Copies of this chain bind each other. A is one copy, B any other.
Amino acid sequence: MAMNRIYFLFIVLLFFHNAQSQSPEILKIREYRTRQESHILNDLLRLLSVPNTATDTSGLQENANMLTEIMKQSGIQNVQFLKADELSAPVVYGEIMTAGATRTIVFYAHYDGQPVDPSQWAKGLSPFVPKIYTGRIDQGATEVPRSQTPIDPNWRIYARGSSDDKAGIMAILYSYQAIKNTNTRLTCNIKFFFEGEEEHGSEHLVNILDKYKQLLQSDLWIICDGPIHQTGRKQIVFGVRGDAGIDITVYGPSRPLHSGHYGNWAPNPAMRLAKLLASMKDDNGKVTVKGFYDDMRPVTAAEKKAIAVLPSVDEQMEKELGIREPEMKGKNLYESLLLPSLNIRGMQSANIGDKASNVIPVSATASIDMRLVPGNESFRQQQKVIDHVQRQGYYVTENDPTAEERMKYNKIAKIVRRPSYDAMRTPMDNDFAKGVINAVRGATKEEVLLVPTMGGSLPLIHLEKKLNAKIIILPIANHDNNQHAENENLRLQNFWDGIEILASVMIMP
């Protein structure tokens, strides 16, 4: 009895504390989540224990199976795998049809993750052995036993996929579960679409959209991926950059040579690659590949206005990342992200440090990713770089050179195009956008930022083209999540907030 009174008081206080901006439905969702925290956390940790890199086909399938199981247990209907062919990791699909609903919203997230190099993770961490820490491991946080309670919202889970993007999937599923179990009224049909090839270029997405066009009929897609704003504020994002990768390999002697006996005489492929890469950017960070910026649609006045009111994060991020000057002189972070980019994501020739031998290496490779903005066409953007390499005197081929090619051409580059897609931006002033903005604002007492585009990429252009759907991105992960790299992590409070934000959209008027 006494406990019940205290509990009642707590709820009342919570209500008043948030009353100015948070709806009673959201508070009910929160109360449900609070009671279920241990259970939700446990499910998330279980999912994070299953490897999800692109080359691990059986791991990806196991992830898909586990999602199927959770979705069926939640009463989600018509759960099935959508497959373009037998080789692709399946999309896990499910739906909730709501009587009388006139609107269908698809909730998207992906369960595959970026490649891992376990040796680069911090001591005690392993990409697929999720662990809970008291905070940021690089700031001295310590491990927390799995069963410890109460659960501190500042704890972080370390694992590949913890923030990108299994958090997205679990937040979507548990926001629906909270709505259901609190008897909150859904206002739309919900479709769940969990992809398994996002980090590998979404190679089969177009085919899947074609094949299941009827099933995927919808008005709005909510994409739950990416980090929240660097200031810790929630943000609604209306676009993504496209992505076009290429790998460039240049060649030295056909077998590795002793660097003494042939040094000065045999061409060094690492030096050739260095010169080639150096020719692609000037000292102000501007890409010097001919025509690189030509196709881009000019930034609109509305977009300029939107980024003008965003809080500046340059100084904070410079301090946080140990950067004295940004790469592009005179451009802040928001301005930089409105432009296409060219980034060396990896570079290698033979070995370095104590593993290095005194050799002239046989080849040197750079893996490059380019981000695209509206107007850029991914194949054409790749072609600009290929043309640039040719203009530097290279013979370009798609294969390792033959002996004949080696004797015919002095400089040879193998260039491999990786799967790619174009950028997408949704106008910020249509009805769906307004509805989502209002819903999210109703779910939080904090300011919500409206961002024309994120810097990252998602294959949303396919959704727009194939399904004629509107698309809005609701990121939930903490901004310092080491996404795509070692020590990827998720701050719990961001995950809890994510559940409320997503629920607010499912029940928006």
* Chain A residues with a Cβ under 8 A of chain B: 54-55, 114-115, 117, 138, 199, 226-227, 240-241, 243, 247, 251, 253-268, 270-271, 273-281, 283, 285, 318-328, 331, 333, 336-337, 339, 341, 343-361, 364-367, 369, 371, 401, 403, 406-410, 454-457, 480, 482-487
The verdict on A117 contacting B351 (CB below 8 Å), with A274-B274, A344-B270, A406-B322 known, is: yes
Residue of B264, B270, B324, B455 near A328 (CB, 8 A) is: B264
- Which B residue's beta carbon lies closest to that of A408? B324
Chain B residues with Cβ below 8 Å from A455 are: 258, 260-265
Is the beta-carbon distance between B259 and A327 smaller than 8 angstroms?
Answer: no
Bound-state CA distance A270–B359 (Å) is 21
The verdict on A355 contacting B267 (CB below 8 Å), with A321-B254, A325-B410, A347-B274 known, is: no
The verdict on A348 contacting B348 (CB below 8 Å), with A270-B277, A353-B367, A407-B319 known, is: yes
Is the beta-carbon distance between A255 and B482 smaller than 8 angstroms?
Answer: yes
Is the beta-carbon distance between A357 and B345 smaller than 8 angstroms?
Answer: yes
Chain B residues with Cβ below 8 Å from A241 are: 260
Stoichiometry, copies per complex: 2
Is the beta-carbon distance between A347 and B350 smaller than 8 angstroms?
Answer: yes
Chain B residues with Cβ below 8 Å from A408 are: 324
Rounded to whole Å, the gap between the CB of A277 and the closest CB of chain B is 4
Of residues A114, A408, A455, A487, which shows the largest number of chain B Cβ atoms within 10 Å of its Cβ?
A455
Bound-state CA distance A263–B325 (Å) is 14
Is the beta-carbon distance between B406 and A324 smaller than 8 angstroms?
Answer: yes
The verdict on A351 contacting B350 (CB below 8 Å), with A328-B265, A356-B367 known, is: no
Bound-state CA distance A306–B446 (Å) is 82
The verdict on A115 contacting B456 (CB below 8 Å), with A263-B341, A323-B406 known, is: no
Rounded to whole Å, the gap between the CB of A439 and the closest CB of chain B is 25
Is the beta-carbon distance between B407 and A326 smaller than 8 angstroms?
Answer: no
Chain B residues with Cβ below 8 Å from A258 are: 227, 455-456, 483-485
Rounded to whole Å, the gap between the CB of A192 and the closest CB of chain B is 24
Is the beta-carbon distance between A407 and B322 smaller than 8 angstroms?
Answer: yes
Bound-state CA distance A240–B114 (Å) is 48
